[in-house]
Amino acid sequence: MREFENSPALSDQLTQWRMQHSAEGSARGVAYQTIRSKIISLELKPGEPLSDKLLADQMGVSRTPVREALIILAASKMVLLKPQRGTFVAPIDTERMAVEQFSRYALEKEIISRAAPLMTQELIWQYEQNIQAYRHYAQAGLPDRELRMLELDNEFHRVAFTAAGQENSFFYMLNNMQHIERMRFLSVVMSLDAVYQDHLEICHALKEGDASTALVWLERHLNRYLDDLKVVREKYPEYFQIAE
């Protein structure tokens, strides 16, 4: 578990990947990732107004890269640009959420099929360390538990991409997970035991080189958000539809 504690945050690695695989300037890229992370972690909530000046002051950059970052976020409907009214955090879009999750499953299904025959003791050890770390955070009740567990869940899925030699595909997938990430953040504590069990089963199947069983558990795992969606919408209706 210590290795996962000491490894660079996945969000930081995603920022580095984006810098290497896009034409974005560094200031704009950092601004984008910072605002995106605040939206996903609900530090910036749906409907909340966004001030480019305030955000720029908080990040210690000029307003230009912040404005450019907000335009990029608006393209994925994470931010609403309303003429004459201002800029606001967009609500969670359930249709986009479903598309993101389906695209993720289609990609991960192929990755698991490729990774299963390539599993090594080192990769299985990474799975097992990740599962232990996830269990630790689930039981610890620390202030940053939800965000850390979300990162650990993403790290778990990364192992198969590493085995298949497709880490760029992993970061591409993560870069395009927007609305589903907020839903996952809201529901992470609802499914602690289920996610833990899913991870155990996927790890065991891959350890045995059993891609078919791993795929069964992967599909269950990625569709669990549907079980939590109704509860989350009832608890946080304002996050899914903000007042005009």
Q: Residue 1: which of 88, 126, 110 has the closest Cα?
A: 126
Instruction: Check residue 18 and give its pLDDT.
Output: 60
Residues of the chain with CATH 1.20.120.530: 94-239
Assign 242 a pLDDT band (cuts: 50, 70, 90). Answer: low
Please write the tens of the pLDDT for every residue from 61-116. Answer: 999 999 999 999 999 899 999 988 899 999 999 999 999 999 999 999 999 999 99
- The CATH code of domain 94-239 reads 1.20.120.530
Look at residue 193 in the predicted model and tell me its pLDDT: 87
CA distance 103 to 96: 11
Q: Which residue has the tokens 């605040």?
A: 38
| CATH 1.10.10.10 domain residues, the chain | 2-89
Is domain 2-89 classified as CATH 1.10.10.10? yes
pLDDT at 86: 92
> pLDDT per residue over 172-230, tens digit each?
998 888 899 899 888 887 888 889 999 999 999 999 999 999 999 999 999 888 888 88
Q: Which pLDDT does position 163 carry in this prediction? A: 94
**pLDDT by residue (tens digit) across 131-159?**
999 988 888 777 778 888 888 999 999 99
Give 204's DSSP letter. H
At 6, the pLDDT band (50, 70, 90 cuts) reads very low
CA distance 133 to 149: 9
pLDDT at 189: 75
The DSSP code sequence of 41-99 is TTSS-TT-EE-HHHHHHHHTS-HHHHHHHHHHHHHTTSEEEETTTEEEEPPP-HHHHHH
> What phi and psi values does residue 50 have, to the nearest 5 degrees?
-120, 125
Positive or negative CA dihedral for 189, 190, 193, 197?
A: negative
User: Residue 173, Cα to own-chain centre: how many angstroms?
Assistant: 9
